[in-house]
Structure formats: C-alpha cells, structure tokens
Amino acid sequence: MVQYKDFKYTDGGICAAKGFSAAGTNAHIKPNSTKNDMALIYCDVKCTAAALYTQNKVQGAPITVTKQHLTDHTAQAVIVNSGNANTCNSNGIEIAQQVCIITAKALNIPAEDVIVASTGVIGQKLLIEPFERCIPVLAQSLSDKGNDDACTAIMTTDTRQKQFAVEFQLDGKTCHLGGMSKGSGMINPNMATMLAFITTDVSINAKMLEKALREVTDITYNMVSVDGDTSTNDMVTLLSSGHAGNTEITSENKLYSQFKDALYAVMMNLARETARDGEGATRLMECKVKNAHDDKTAKTVAKSVINSSLLKAAIFAADANWGRILCAIGYADADFDISKVSVDLVSRAGKIRVCENGSGTDFSEDTAFKILSEDEITIEIDLAEGNCEATAWGCDLTYDYVKINAEYRS
C-alpha cells in the first residue's frame, strides 16, 4: 500500500463509509467452484451515484441496464456476480433486468435504484435461478463487516482481494471513502477497470461526483495495463450517502480538492494492486515519466512502456534490456526529442542509470539483475522538456499468463 498525504488508511473497504453494508455468497454460477461468486452492496439511503464504463463496442448486458438506471444519478444498491459476464447473450438484458427486480424486492427499493454488474466468461447463458435463490439470502446477511465476503465474490482469476479505505477530515467532519475492485487479466481499461465499486459518506452533488470520478480514473485505472486487452464489462461506480454531514460539495473548491485527494488515495492503490495481481505476474512494474512538456505526452509515454510485451518478458527474466524501453518510448504517439531522454531502473535493491541522452551507459549487469529481481520495479524516464509527469502500472509477462488464459474456461 502506498501512503498518500495525510489520510488515515482504515479497514472496512466498501463498508467503511457510513450507511453502507455488504454480503457475499457462493451461488454456484460457475460449476464446481467453492468460492463466493455473488455480492450485494446496500446503503440505508438513496445515494448520489456516478459510473464510468468500458469503451469496447461489445458491452455486457449489465452495463446497458446500469446506464439506464443511473440516468437520474442515484442508486441504493449494487448486485454483482462473477463466473459469467452476461455478455453476448440473446436474453442478457432481460436477465440483468430481472436480477435488479429481484434485488429491489428483497431490499424494498425501486428496481431503478439497483446497479447490476457481472464478470467472467463471455458468451455463455446466465440463468436467473441462482439470483432467485441467493439474493434474498444476501439481503438478510447484509453487514457493515461484510466487505471481505463481497470482495471475494467479485474475484475471478484474481489471487488476492483488492480493497482500501481512508478516513479524513472535511469541513470539520470525519469522512470515509472506501472501495474494492477485481481484475487480473484482460486489463487495458478506457474509463474504467474490470469491476470497481467505491463508496463514501461525503455529501457531494452529482456533477462534482462524476467529475471527480472521471478525473481520478484518468490518472489511476486508465494508467493500468496487464495485457493490452480492454474487457467488455469494465465498470467503476461511486456512491455517496452524504452521512458525514459536511457542507455539500457543489463546485471545484477546497472541499472538492480534498475529496479528490481521498478518492485518489483509494483508487491509486486499487490500480496498483490490479497491476500487481496480473495473471501469472511475479513483478509489479511502475513507469514514472517526468519533465514532459504536457500531461498527455507523459501519460502516453508511460502507458506505451507498460504495454510493451517485449519489455514485460525482459522484466520477468530480470534482464536489463533497456533497448526495449527506448523502443517503446519511440513508438509512443507523442512528440519529444529522444536525444534528451534518460532512463533509470529502480527497486528496493537500488537504482541504476541505463540510458542517458538517448544512448546507453556503462552499467553493471549484476547490479541491474539484483535491482530487477525485486517484486516491485520502477522505470523512471526523464524527457527533459518540461515539468509534467505521469505514472502507469503493469506487470511482467510470464509462462503462467499463457497457461491461465489457455485454461480459462476449464
């Protein structure tokens, strides 16, 4: 976990914010699975809500239904399953709508106030029976300690839970913001990650909530790449109960900036953990670009480096093949002078410069190997043209990535 400014990291994930509870259960959506695969998140009041979605032209039925439900920017519950994406199904929309109706009945709220999400295998029929059987059980099991059960339920090939929460002061009031996400493969998001759910008790209007989500997503989830694939079901949602009692945030003032910082503290850590947990990954790759002439150039270069399959493979082998970094910088869709570029490799084991002014330097291969053998590797790139910067996250490319995806439907 990376500490960010003066926020107190706390337990509870999506249940850390006042008013929220959650539950998870094994609905046996995927045959022979023993893990939780269905989760429910609920707030005791109708929330202000915002969401961002995949830009893939093929989109899961839950996204279509959720978009319809959030036209009024409010929601009170989230129902989500793993094991089946409910995508490219002839009756997918009908199933997603029915899931919302069942959830609404169990919670005694309007169906339009339910967000629905799914993740898993694409193109397989999804039956309504598991939802009919399990949603009433989930509703009865809701707890402000239910975040772990819910977080487990959204995992597919993930190897670890991804959840964070912070406590902070806003306008003299104690506020909370927490989230959970899943995703370890098919990760190259555009406006979202695989699935992410964030809750807060801060009072903020719909316009500012969506603005904050969009701005922070752009520098967190949108800067993650595991394998270059953008999924069909990517979704990030943000719900606000307003229970903290602060003066409502209605403009880009100091309170808005503080809220955005808290949102970044949670989403940045969720993004890093998504990259760290890439399918088959052994190393987290972080690319920091500094001194670019604008933000777009910094982000473009950072993502280009993180996306390089050749570099990912070299990192797996702890091979300081810096030419692959320069190659990825060179094909980035941005304008800069490559003759000014310097590259350092950094980890807990030390720091070494492998390129300066666009050319290689004399460095110790043994030292570089030790640096690249750590489980967190940072590639620092200096463009020497301005004062803008960006960070992107990815992971190495291993034999296990191929094995996991070759056997995904097994």
- Active-site annotation, residues: 193
Dihedral sign from CA coordinates of 267, 273, 277, 278 = positive
State the DSSP H helix or E strand holding residue 215, giving kind and residue range, or none if neither: helix 206-218
3-state secondary structure 305-356: HHHCHHHHHHHHCCCCCHHHHHHHHHCCCCCCCHHHCEEEEEECCEEEEEEE
Rounded distance between C-alpha atoms, residue 247 and residue 253, angstroms: 12
As separate numbers, helices (DSSP H) first and strands (DSSP E) second, the chain gives 11, 15
* Contact criterion met (CB below 8 Å) for 27 and 288: no
What the block records as the tokens of 41 is 């998140």
Helix axes 254-276, 206-218, angle to 10 degrees: 40
Lookup: tokens for 342: 């310097």
